[in-house]
Amino acid sequence: MNNIEIAYDSTDHFSLICPTCGEVCLIKSVKTIKNLQIDLAGNKDNCSYIQVKCRKCKTIGQRKIYWNNLKHNRRDERGRVNWKDEFKKKIARWKNDRF
């Protein structure tokens, strides 16, 4: 299982990219586990595991997303979440997350 890369565009869409050939991967499954223990201190968070497969070279892999920080999103003066900044932060976390 290889480490799948994250790419995003100016419209806040993100793609999971094959590290072997650079093609966009196909999402095979998404599994969310609620109240997963995420550290030795006993802190818990919801976590989604995304299983993917490259259409071109058949490489398989997965990424995971922790959802706790969505409760603390920064909002603008109208109370709206700035999703572009939130996705950039989440992608930075994903890039550091190795399986």
Q: Is the pLDDT of residue 33 over 50?
A: yes
Distance (Å, rounded) from C-alpha 55 to C-alpha 23? Answer: 8
Query: Within a domain: residue 89?
Result: no
Query: Within a domain: residue 86?
Result: no
Structural domain span for residue 57? 1-68
Query: Within a domain: residue 75?
Result: no
Query: Within a domain: residue 50?
Result: yes
The count of domains in the chain is: 1
Mean pLDDT in the chain?
Answer: 77
Q: Is the pLDDT of residue 82 over 80?
A: no
β 60-66/2-3 pair status: parallel
Q: Is the pLDDT of residue 15 over 50?
A: yes
Query: Within a domain: residue 5?
Result: yes
Query: Within a domain: residue 51?
Result: yes
Q: Three-state secondary structure along the chain?
A: CEECEEEECCCCCEEEECCCCCCEEEEEEEEEEEEEECCCCCCEEEEEEEEEEECCCCCEEEEEEECHHHHHCCECCCCCECHHHHHHHHHHHHHHCCC
Task: Choose the weakest-confidence range: 10-14, 20-24, 94-98.
Answer: 94-98
pTM to 2 decimal places: 0.60
pLDDT in tens, 40-50: 777 788 888 99
Query: Within a domain: residue 6?
Result: yes
